[in-house]
Amino acid sequence: MSVVLVPTTGLFELLHNHGPAGLPGLARPPLTLLECLVAGTSFRHRLAEYEPCLNPGLPLRLHREPANAHDEWAVTVSALLPPLPPAGAAPNTAPTSSTTGTAALPAAEVLLGYLPRQKNEVIARLLDAGKNLTGSLLEKEWEGGWLRLQVRVLLHE
């Protein structure tokens, strides 16, 4: 005995017109909008100390900075990273919780830099329109005293 399943008209139309992403719970994969270097990393305070935490695949946050005096379409690139000890303190001296012995401070959003001015207007407009955009770190490399960060900007529908 064989069983043949035939989709109802409504389900067939939903799949035909919208694909599997039209079904609740089945999201489309994110769309890559841009791959670029992060601008301004050489101006980020203590970025060299955060560098060991900056690994490929690290999720990145993108935020508009419309009041930026240098670029009306400025988009910041940041990441949630563990807190650093105070400047001048010995390594591994972050405060700990007396009850758990683990780090007491939550991860902090650390500004890594900006999307380049020549490539940020479309991304800025999408953020202004409320679109869900994120980033991902592709690679990092030191070139002299400059930390070169290559990122990917993703649109989530």
Residue among 56, 30, 40, 59 nearest 135 (CA): 59
- Between 130 and 13, where is the model more confident? 130
Residue 45, pLDDT score: 84
All structural domains of the chain, each given as residue ranges with its CATH number in brackets, are: 29-156 (3.30.70.2330)
Q: Is the pLDDT of residue 89 over 90?
A: no
Structure tokens at 84: 């650093």
Residue 17, pLDDT score: 53
Q: Is the pLDDT of residue 23 over 70?
A: no
Confidence of residue 19 (pLDDT cuts 50, 70, 90): low
Across 73-87, average pLDDT = 91
- Least confident range from 8-22, 41-55, 61-75, 81-95: namely 8-22
Give the ranges where the chain is alpha helix by DSSP (H): 9-18, 47-50, 121-128
| Tens-place pLDDT, residues 40-79 | 999 998 899 999 999 999 999 999 999 999 999 999 999 9
| Tens-place pLDDT, residues 102-121 | 555 688 999 999 999 999 99
DSSP H/E element including 134: strand 132-143
Structure tokens at 104: 């007491």
Residue among 102, 104, 115 nearest 149 (CA): 115
Percentage of the chain modeled with pLDDT above 70: 72
